[in-house]
Amino acid sequence: MKRFLATAMAVSMLAAAIPAVPAMAEEAPEPITLTVFRGDPGDQPADDNKIYQKIKDELGISFEFEFLAGDLDEKLGMMIAGEDYPDLFDGGNSADLLIQNGALINLLDYVSPETTPRLWAHIEPQKARIITQDEDGNDVLYIIPNYGLADGEQIVNRVNGPAFFIQKQVLAWAGYPQIHTLNEYFDLIEAFLAENPTDENGTPYVGFDILCEDWRHFCLINPVQHLMGRPNDGEVIVDVNSEDFHTETFIDKPYAKPYYKKLNEEFQKGLISKDTFVMNYDQYIAQLSSGIVLGMFDQTWDFDNATYALQDANMYKNTYVALGLVYDPEYVDGKEIEEHYVNGTLPNINRGFGISVNCECPERIVAMWEELLSDEWQLLLNWGVEGEDYSIEDGRLTMTMEQYENTLNNTWMLHNKARALFESSPKKQGYIMEGDLAGNCWEVGNQPEIVFGNMNEYDKEFLSAYGYQKFADFVNPPIELAPYGEAWQIDYTPVDVDHQDFLDIQDKYLPELIMTDPDNFDALWDEFVEKITPSATVFSEFMQEQVYTKAMQLLEAED
């Protein structure tokens, strides 16, 4: 990163702390270039990107982006070992490694109601969840959540998290049925494949993919909790109706066995390929992007690049619907399970940008965030340039079909959106609460007029066949967020050895269980449970204590 004068840095920070000051200062700030690491694969923005150019012109800041290639933990481990840190750091799902190894600064040294009123107002409603304490009892905030700090009531137009996904063409082929259970889901895929073994190019369809690579093995591990009717708590299931928030690992319980036995049956029928267990993430996305994968369990954000590729190719029938599947009663002693895939809004704790200890200008970055949280910048970052990318009609933000389709086009975004910066930065979500545009939505994809009005014709007809207005109508509305939040956000460091052993055993045995001869399944399952019980017990007991403690702390803070 280029060095710059401390006096210019101080002037910039002061200007950013005063909301009335416009983005373009009378005297241009000292130009700097920030190095940025994103813990996910991505594409470099185009050199002529208009949003980055505006940031450079008005805030004096340029960016050098590095995106993840390969294994995230391995990459972060190398950076930590060499203390080779960029200025802005998004560690993705392994951000805890950065915090534990002292790679990030405490943002509370730079964020306060007095110096950064916009940033403080942004985090203040959820400070009980996102501000923690270090070993000495000091308040710390290493990452301002990139998502989940929303204004107004919760907006759910699509399922952005976990679900069982199925290609729209499969549902259309079957006459738009309602699919709610595990058996209904696989029965439909089987029936479709029987009549449609290949696509129009003669390429065989893949019935069901399972991504197992690295931390994304949640695609293999997590479905059981959802089939049991709970939203995402990571690797445990919590009884929120019990006094102690009873918490247990689910993968080793009898109710997990039917899922993997079902996958074993589907594997024997050829719906699941052996290759799925050795695919890396890039190969998985490439396969989804080709349109040949009929179904998978995943989280929507995890395969956005595949969705963009399918949309760019006008392969809308090959894009996916999120279904909230539950177990058939036969798997759970005849019990009817109610589906709860969508949780109440919560901050995306430890997900987003932190500032590294190697950064020479943390004040400048915080000042940038403060400025970018202004209404003017948020409109630009979300909607683009008025008159070019969107219009305002009778107080409503609108787009033509062409403008909206641009926002779904990956190539266009590389020239016209600051996605690599904006996705990991603090941002406004939900409803615009004040001013002439109050009642509109910050995010284009949430604006009611756009959700259905500017949808492509295929999706309009598809939803109309179901009598729906949005794709979130396929699942139940959000449930009330538990007081502990979501258990996957808990720091596992105190039991990291047992936790890693717990994960390693799953990664080894679950693919074997799916591929084994059906006659060997029961014996192999018993062996798996025996092997995983010691580490599962340690992890389960730790999580029980943590979930209960966090729930009590938050309830007390709210009182």
pLDDT in the model for residue 559 = 63
Together in a domain, 128 and 248: no
The CA-based angle 144-145-149, given to 5 degrees, is 115
Rounded-to-integer distance, Cα 440 and Cα 388, Å: 19
Distances (CA, A) of 115 to 58, 109, 110, 130, 371: 20, 10, 8, 19, 12
Q: Are 144 and 426 in contact (CB under 8 A)?
A: yes
Instruction: For residue 467, give both structure tokens.
Output: 């009598």
Q: Are residues 53 and 87 in the same domain?
A: yes
Asked if residue 353 and residue 207 are part of one domain, the reply reads no
Same domain, 53 and 133: yes
Distances (CA, A) of 306 to 29, 42, 197, 300, 539: 39, 12, 22, 10, 35
How many domains, in total, are found in the chain?
A: 2
CB 352 within 8 A of CB 144: yes
pLDDT of residue 16: 38
pLDDT at 138: 93
Beta-ladder partners of 132: 140
Q: Which domain holds residue 263?
A: 162-341+474-558
pLDDT at 5: 33
- Determine contact, residues 76/214, Cβ cutoff 8 Å: no
Residues 67, 51, single domain; the answer is: yes
Shared-domain flag, residues 29 and 63: yes
Answer yes or no: is 457 within a domain. Answer: no
Based on the domain organization, do 283 and 386 belong to the same domain?
no
Distances (CA, A) of 504 to 212, 447, 490: 12, 43, 19
Supply the pLDDT for residue 429: 95
Helix (H, G, I), strand (E, B), or coil: what is residue 88? Answer: strand
The pLDDT, as a whole number, for residue 26 is 53
Mean pLDDT for each consecutive 10-residue tract of the chain (559 residues)?
35 36 56 96 96 97 96 94 96 92 97 97 91 90 94 91 97 98 98 98 97 94 97 96 96 98 98 95 96 98 94 96 98 95 88 97 98 98 98 96 92 97 97 96 93 89 95 95 91 93 97 98 98 98 96 80
> Which residue spans within 152-230 are E strands per DSSP?
162-167
Which letter does DSSP use for residue 181 in this model?
Answer: B
On whether both 317 and 187 belong to a single domain, the answer is yes
Interatomic CA distance for residues 52 and 195, integer angstroms: 49
Same structural domain for residues 246 and 292? Answer: yes
Sign, CA dihedral 269-274-277-279, equals: negative
**Residue 422 located in a structural domain:** yes
Q: Is residue 483 part of a domain?
A: yes
Contact 458, 311 (CB under 8 A): no
**Structural domain includes residue 198:** yes
- Distance, CA of 342 to CA of 92 (rounded, Å): 21
